[in-house]
Amino acid sequence: MLRVGLIGYGYWGPNLVRNFAEASGAEVAAISDLQPDRLAKVKSRYPAIKTTTDYHDLVNDDSIDAIAIVTPVSTHFALARQALEAGKHVFVEKPLAESSAHAAWLVQQAKERQKVLMVDHTFVYTSAVQKIRELVAGNHLGKIYYYDSVRVNLGLFQHDVNVLWDLAVHDLAIIDYVFGGLAPTAVSATGMSHVPGQPENIAYLTLFFPENLIAHIHVNWLAPVKIRRTLVGGSKKMIVYDDLEPSEKVKVYDKGITVGNSLEKVYRMLIHYRAGDMWAPQLEMNEALQQEVAQFIQCIEHGRQPIADGEAGLRVVRILEAAAQSLARQGSLINLEARRMAA
Amino acid sequence: MLRVGLIGYGYWGPNLVRNFAEASGAEVAAISDLQPDRLAKVKSRYPAIKTTTDYHDLVNDDSIDAIAIVTPVSTHFALARQALEAGKHVFVEKPLAESSAHAAWLVQQAKERQKVLMVDHTFVYTSAVQKIRELVAGNHLGKIYYYDSVRVNLGLFQHDVNVLWDLAVHDLAIIDYVFGGLAPTAVSATGMSHVPGQPENIAYLTLFFPENLIAHIHVNWLAPVKIRRTLVGGSKKMIVYDDLEPSEKVKVYDKGITVGNSLEKVYRMLIHYRAGDMWAPQLEMNEALQQEVAQFIQCIEHGRQPIADGEAGLRVVRILEAAAQSLARQGSLINLEARRMAA
Amino acid sequence: MLRVGLIGYGYWGPNLVRNFAEASGAEVAAISDLQPDRLAKVKSRYPAIKTTTDYHDLVNDDSIDAIAIVTPVSTHFALARQALEAGKHVFVEKPLAESSAHAAWLVQQAKERQKVLMVDHTFVYTSAVQKIRELVAGNHLGKIYYYDSVRVNLGLFQHDVNVLWDLAVHDLAIIDYVFGGLAPTAVSATGMSHVPGQPENIAYLTLFFPENLIAHIHVNWLAPVKIRRTLVGGSKKMIVYDDLEPSEKVKVYDKGITVGNSLEKVYRMLIHYRAGDMWAPQLEMNEALQQEVAQFIQCIEHGRQPIADGEAGLRVVRILEAAAQSLARQGSLINLEARRMAA
Amino acid sequence: MLRVGLIGYGYWGPNLVRNFAEASGAEVAAISDLQPDRLAKVKSRYPAIKTTTDYHDLVNDDSIDAIAIVTPVSTHFALARQALEAGKHVFVEKPLAESSAHAAWLVQQAKERQKVLMVDHTFVYTSAVQKIRELVAGNHLGKIYYYDSVRVNLGLFQHDVNVLWDLAVHDLAIIDYVFGGLAPTAVSATGMSHVPGQPENIAYLTLFFPENLIAHIHVNWLAPVKIRRTLVGGSKKMIVYDDLEPSEKVKVYDKGITVGNSLEKVYRMLIHYRAGDMWAPQLEMNEALQQEVAQFIQCIEHGRQPIADGEAGLRVVRILEAAAQSLARQGSLINLEARRMAA
C-alpha cells in the first residue's frame, strides 16, 4: 500500500485526494496546507487523514512513500527537490517548474535516485487525447498540417505565472504526447496584460515544426465564454476536438483538398475540395485523473516511467520558457533548433 | 438612374448583380467576364443586360456611370485605375489593391476626379457589426481590452493572395469601423503554406494598439468546420459575435473582473470575477450587400463618402502589407508607428 | 420544352418559379396572382413571363402543358380540378387537398386522363431524407421503434388550416416515404388555438403502427426558436436528423439496448446499454425543390409517377383528416384500420 | 443536530448522503441497502456511518429523527408509512407513491403526526426553475399559452414504473410549482413499450388547463442523445429553458404575435410577428439537492412546510395516475375536473 502525502489542498488538491483515496494500492496518509480552514474540510471528509500546516511534516515522515505537490508554480521546484532528496516519489501539478534549469535538475535527481517523477499533464490521460494520438500514430490523418487550439474562459487569474504557463501548458503536453516528443524548431508568442502589474492574461503562441507543421495556441483568462476547441488538420483527415461536448468530443472529418495540375492553365495548380463522412469514435467515460493516479502507483510498483514523466515536463517547460522570451519581445522568433544544437 | 457595369461574374459577382438589379436608383447595364459560359448564365437570368468578354467595352461605354470590379485581387488596381480615368465611380471587391502604394494612388485619383471609390467591406454593413460599433461607441463595454476573431473553413483557396488578404481583411475592416480608424502601433504574423508553391493557407495575426488593446485574427482555408466567432472584451462588458448563428449573432455578457487590494496580503492584487446577465439585442434582418449597394448609389447621387471608402480600404491594405512582411519573417514585429512618423 | 403556368406568387411561389426557370426542359410561360404588386415583381425579374390576375388565363391557354398551384390549401382542389379537366399536368403545393374525398377525386382524374399529379412534399427530395430512407431500407437501424419529430418556430400562421396541415404534413410525407407507405392503424392528436376564431397553432400527433412502431409529431407556430429535429430509433442504430445543421444533418448513433435475462433474478429482465460510434454520412448539397422540379418534368416526359405522386398526397391527407377528428375530441383515438377494412 | 437514516444507496442515494453529510444541522446516522457491496462503499467513504441490510434497524432506531427513502417507486409507500408510524420525518424520492390513494394516505398521516413529508422534486429547487417561476409570477410572460418539454436520453429503464413516472414527473413538479398548483382539467397520453413485458419506454402526455393553457411532456428512455428542453410560451414573452446548457439555461425571448383586424378584409384577422431582444438572466450556481436538503432540515426545525411537500407529491401522482389510464386507452381523454367535482 503506497502511502501518499499531499501538499496544497486548494482548487485542484481535493480532486487528487479523492482519486488517491479511491485508488487501489494507495492511501492518503497526510495533507498539508497553509490555511487551517482547508484542513478542517479535509478532517470532515476524511477523518483518518493526518493534517498539518507544515509540509516538512510530510517530507520528514518516513512512512510516506510519495509526495503530491499541488501548490503555485513558483513553489514546485523547492518542494519537489526536498521531496526527492527525502527519498520520495513525486507527483507535481503542471507545469513541472518555473524554469527549464529547475525542471532539468528535478529530472536528473529523480533519475539518480531512481524515483518516479510525474507531472500532472491531465489531458494526456483523457480518452479523447488518447484517441487522437491513436489516429495520428496510425496515420489516419495523413501528413499533419497543423494543430490549432482555443482555450479561453473567465478566470482563474494566476499571480505568479502568465496565462501561457497556466493554460497553454495543456496544449503543449497534448502536442508532446500526440506527436511523440515536442521538438519545435522555433516559437513566436504575443500577448497582453490588462491588470497593471500582473502577468499576461491573454496570449497567442505559434510553434514551428519541421515539414511545415505549425501549431497555434490561443489562451485567455478574460473571455466571456468557455471554449476548449482544437483542430488538427491532416492531408487525409481532420479532427475537431471539443472538450466541452458531453459526448462526441472527437470528430473525425473526411475532408481536405487534393492538388492537381490544370490542363488549360499549366502555370496554375488546381485545388479540389474533398468532403466525406464525419465520424465520432466512442470514447471511454473515465476520469483522466483516475488513470493518472493509477499509472503513478503502477510505475512506482514496477519501476516504470509514466507517460507524463519528468522528461515530458521538462520539454514542455522549455517551450514555455522560449514563449516567455518571445512574448517579452512582441512575437520575435525564438529559434529552438539553434539552442538544441548549441546544447 | 445610375447605370452600372460589372467586371467579373464568378463566385461573388452574381450577388452584386442581384443587388444592383433590385436596388432603386440603379440598373446593371453590362457585365464582362473572360468565360463565355458565365455570360450565358447572365443572359438566361437577365436577358436585358449586355454581356462581353472584353471589359474595355464597359470602361469605354459613356452611358455607364459606375464600374463594379469583382475580379482577383491582382487585377484590382489596373481595372480600378482605368475605370477612374474613364470618369467612372468605382466599387471594388475587397481588398482594395495588392499594395498600399496602389491603394493610395486610387484614393488620390478618386479624390481629384471627385468620384466615389468604395471597397466591398461587406461585414461593415451587417446589422451585427453596426450593433457592435454602437455598443463600443456608447461606451457600454468600458475600456476595450481585446478583439479576437476566428475565421476558418474549408476552401476557397486563392492563388494570388494568401489567407490573410482573403479572410483577415474582413476583421481588419471590422476593427477599422468599430474602433474608429485602424491605427495599430505594430503587428506580428505567423502562418504556413501546405500546398507547395502556393500562398499561406493558415495564418495568425496579432495587432498591438495603444493602451493595451490587442487584436488577434486567426484564419484558415483548410479547416474541417466553418467558424466565424469574434470575442470583444471590455472592462465592463464582453461580446461574443458568432456570424453563423441564425439569430442572436451578437451576445453581450455582463461579465468581467474587478481588481482590489487584499487586506491580508498587501503585495498581492485580488481579482474578483463578476458574472451577470447575457443579452442578445434584436438585429435587423437585412442583407449587408443590399445596404452597401444602396449606400454606393446614394453617395454618388449626393457626393458623399461611404463608410467603406477608399481611405478605409487603404488603411486595411497597409496592415495587410505589414502583416505580409512579418509573416515572411515568422512573426517579427513590424512597427507601424515608426512608419507613420517617418511618413 | 414543357411550358408551365404558375398560380400564386406569394411566399413559396418565387422559389418554384426560379427552379422551373432554371430547369432544363421547362420554361415558365405565365404566372397568375390576385395581387398586382406581386405580378410587378415577376415582371422586373422575368420580363419574358406573361402575368395575369385571372388564373383562367392559364387554365385556358392551350400552349401551357402543366400548372403549378401555390395557393392556400382551401383552393387546391378547385384549381387542380380545373387544371386536370383542361388537360394539364398538375403540381400542387402541400397538402394536396382539404379532404381525402377531394384528394381521391384528383388522383382518380389524373389517372383517367393519364396526367402527372404531383404534390410538393419537399422534404422527400432532400438528400437527408433520402439517406434516412436508404438506411432504413437497408436495415441498418434494425427493427424501427419510433419516429419522433419536433417542428416549431414563430409564424407563418395560416388562416384556412391548422398547424398540423401546415407543418405536420412534412413529417407525414417523410414517414410515408421512409417507411414505404403510410399505414398507421390509429392516430391521436391534441392541440390548442391561442388566437380566438383561428385554427390550432400548436398540436401534437401520435401515430400507431403495427409491430409497436410509434410516431409522434410536435408542431407549433408560436415558438420563440426554430427547431427541426427528428429522432428515429431502431433496435440496432438510431438517427438524429437536424435540418437546421449546416452540415451533418443526419447523425447515425450506434446506440441502443440489449435485453438479457438476469441470472440471479429470473423474474426480471436485464437491460444493457450499448454505446458505440457516431457517424454522419456526407450528403449531397443540392436544393430539394430543384430535384422535385426535375422529377416532375421527367415524369411528364416519360409517363412515369413521381415519388410524391397523388397517391402519396392522398395518404397524407387521410391521416391529417383523422388527426383533425381526434384533435376536435382532445386526443380520442381514431382507428384507421377499421376504416380501411370498411372501405 | 438532525439525525438522518437513509434507505437505498443505489444510483441517487450517494448524492443525498453527500448533501446531508455536508449540510449544517444534520448528520447521516445510518444507511441501509439490500446489497452489501454498496454498504462497503459507504464504509470506505464515511467510516462513521452505521450500515445495515435491514431497513428496520433505521425505522426502529429512536435516535434517528428523519428517514430518506431512495428506493424503487413500488416500495415508497410501505417504507414511508413505517417511517411515519415510527414518528420520523420523511423525505421520499420522486414520485411520492405508486397511487394517489397511497400518496393521500401518507399526506394525511404526516399531517396528523405533525411530521414533515417531503418529496424529492429536485428541479423545483434549481435556480433555473425558480427564475422561471419568478418571471411567470411577475407576469413578465403575459398570459401563458403553453408549457412544452422534451426530456429524452438513453437509459435508465425502470422495471416497476413506465417512463412517465420516471421522467414526466419532473415536468409535472415544475408545472405545479411554476403555475402555482397543478389543476389540469383533463389529460391525454400515448406511448409504447419496445421491450416485451416491460412498461412504456416512450410516452407523450398532453395536459389541458383552463383558459387555453396546454402543456405537453415528451419523454423517452431510448433516445440516442440527451435533450432537456422546455419552451414556455406567453403572450408577451417566451422562454427556452435548456437544462444541459452549462450557462444561460434560461433564455427569455421578447417574441410573439399581435392580432389586429385587417382593413381590407374584415373577415380575416391579421397576425403580426414581433421579434425583440433575447435575455438570459444570471442564475445562481448552486446544487439543487443542497437547497432541498437545507429546506428539509429547516422545515423540521421550524415546523414549516417545504415547497415540495406531500400535497405537491400527491397532486403530481394524481396526474400520473390519470396519464396511466389514458395511456392504456391510447390517448383517450381523462377528465380530471369531473373527478375533482365528484370528490
pLDDT in tens, C238-276: 999 999 998 899 999 999 998 876 555 545 567 888 899
C-beta atoms of D244 and A246 within 8 A: yes
List the single best residue of C166, C192, C259 to mutate versus D (max D Cβ within 10 A). C192
C-beta atoms of B280 and D282 within 8 A: no
Residue A265 CA: distances (Å) to CA of A262, A269, B78, B156, C72: 5, 8, 22, 18, 53
D197 touches chain C (CB under 8 A): yes
How does pLDDT run across A4-46, given as a tens digit for each residue?
999 999 999 999 999 999 898 999 999 999 999 999 989 877 8
Cβ-nearest to A48 among D22, D47, D244? D47
Interface of A with D in 5-24 (CB under 8 A): 22
What residues does each domain of chain A span? 2-121+288-306, 124-286+319-342
**pLDDT confidence of residue C266:** 47
pLDDT at B266 over 60: no
Beta bridge partners of B332: none
Over chain B, what HEC string results?
Answer: CEEEEEECCCCCHHHHHHHHHHCCCEEEEEEECCCHHHHHHHHHHCCCCEEECCCHHHHCCCCCCEEEECCCHHHHHHHHHHHHHCCCEEEEECCCCCCHHHHHHHHHHHHHCCCCEEEECHHHHCHHHHHHHHHHHCCCCCCEEEEEEEEEEECCCCCCCCHHHHHHHHHHHHHHHHCCCCCCCEEEEEEECCCCCCCCCEEEEEEECCCCCEEEEEEECEEEEEEEEEEEEECCCEEEEECCCCCCCEEEEEEEEEEEECCCCCCCEEEEEEEEEEEECCCCCCCHHHHHHHHHHHHHHHCCCCCCEHHHHHHHHHHHHHHHHHHHCCCCCEEHHHHHHHC
CATH of domain D2-121: 3.40.50.720
C-beta atoms of C223 and D206 within 8 A: no
Edge to edge, the sheet with strand C117-120 lists: C50-52, C26-32, C2-7, C66-69, C89-93, C117-120
- In the CATH scheme, what is the homologous superfamily, with its name and number, of domain D124-287+319-342? Dihydrodipicolinate Reductase; domain 2 (3.30.360.10)
Return the residue matching grid coordinates 501538499: A7
Confidence at B215, pLDDT banded by 50, 70, 90: very high
pTM beyond 0.90? yes
Are A19 and A2 a contacting pair, CB within 8 Å? no
Are D230 and D171 a contacting pair, CB within 8 Å? yes
**pLDDT confidence of residue C47:** 82
**pLDDT confidence of residue D156:** 82
**pLDDT confidence of residue D261:** 64
Q: Angle at the Cα of B28 (from B25 to B30), degrees rounded to 5? A: 150
Cβ-nearest to C48 among B22, B47, B225? B47
**pLDDT confidence of residue A268:** 58
Q: State the smallest CA–CA distance between residue C329 and chain A in angstroms.
A: 42
Are B121 and B210 a contacting pair, CB within 8 Å? no
D57 touches chain B (CB under 8 A): no
C2-121+288-308 topology per CATH: Rossmann fold (3.40.50)
How does pLDDT run across D250-262, given as a tens digit for each residue?
999 999 998 876 5
**pLDDT confidence of residue A266:** 47
**pLDDT confidence of residue D266:** 47
How far, in Å, CA of C64 to CA of C83, rounded?
10
B43 touches chain C (CB under 8 A): no
C-beta atoms of A281 and C277 within 8 A: yes
Mean pLDDT over all residues of chain C?
94
Shortest CA distance from C17: residue in chain B: B45
Confidence at B181, pLDDT banded by 50, 70, 90: confident
Q: Which of B245, B226, C230 is nearest to A275 (CA)?
A: B226
Confidence at B343, pLDDT banded by 50, 70, 90: low
Mean pLDDT over all residues of chain D?
94
How does pLDDT run across C8-30, given as a tens digit for each residue?
999 999 999 999 998 989 999 99
**pLDDT confidence of residue A272:** 86
C-beta atoms of D326 and C331 within 8 A: yes
Average confidence (pLDDT) over B55-83: 97
pLDDT at B3 over 90: yes
Are C68 and C147 a contacting pair, CB within 8 Å? no
A2-121+288-306 topology per CATH: Rossmann fold (3.40.50)
Cβ-nearest to D332 among C202, C257, C331? C331
Cβ-nearest to A186 among B150, B271, B330? B330
Please tell me whether the peptide bond between A210 and the residue prior to it is cis, using omega within 30 degrees of 0: no
Reported as type and span, the H/E element at residue D186 is: strand D186-192
pLDDT at D268 over 80: no
Instruction: Give the lowest-confidence range in A257-271, B106-120, D26-40.
Output: A257-271
- Cβ neighbours of D214 in C, within 8 Å: 190-192, 202
Give me the helices (H) in A189-251, please.
Answer: none
Q: State the smallest CA–CA distance between residue C289 and chain D in angstroms.
A: 27
C48 touches chain B (CB under 8 A): yes
Mean pLDDT over all residues of chain A?
94
**pLDDT confidence of residue C48:** 86
Interface of D with B in 277-306 (CB under 8 A): 277-282
Chains with 3 or more CB pairs under 8 A to chain B: A, C, D
C-beta atoms of B248 and D278 within 8 A: yes
More confident residue, A228 or B271: A228
Average confidence (pLDDT) over B197-224: 96
C-beta atoms of C231 and D220 within 8 A: yes
More confident residue, D160 or C128: C128
Cβ-nearest to B277 among D254, D276, D282? D282
User: Nine-digit cell at C53?
Assistant: 390576375
- Cβ neighbours of B282 in D, within 8 Å: 254, 275-278
CATH level 2 (architecture), domain B2-122+288-314: 3-Layer(aba) Sandwich (3.40)
Confidence at D269, pLDDT banded by 50, 70, 90: low
**pLDDT confidence of residue D260:** 74
Q: State the smallest CA–CA distance between residue C145 and chain B in angstroms.
A: 32
More confident residue, C140 or A271: C140
pLDDT at D343 over 90: no
- Phi-psi category of A82—alpha, beta or left, where left has phi over 0 and alpha has psi -120 to 50? alpha
D328 touches chain C (CB under 8 A): no
Are C300 and C2 a contacting pair, CB within 8 Å? yes
Chains with 3 or more CB pairs under 8 A to chain D: A, B, C
pLDDT at D265 over 60: no
Over B8-52, what HEC string results?
Answer: CCCCCHHHHHHHHHHCCCEEEEEEECCCHHHHHHHHHHCCCCEEE
pLDDT at D138 over 70: yes
- Cβ neighbours of D246 in A, within 8 Å: 226, 244
pLDDT at A261 over 70: no
CATH entry, C124-286+319-342, from 3.40.605.10, 3.40.50.720, 3.40.50.2300, 3.30.360.10: 3.30.360.10
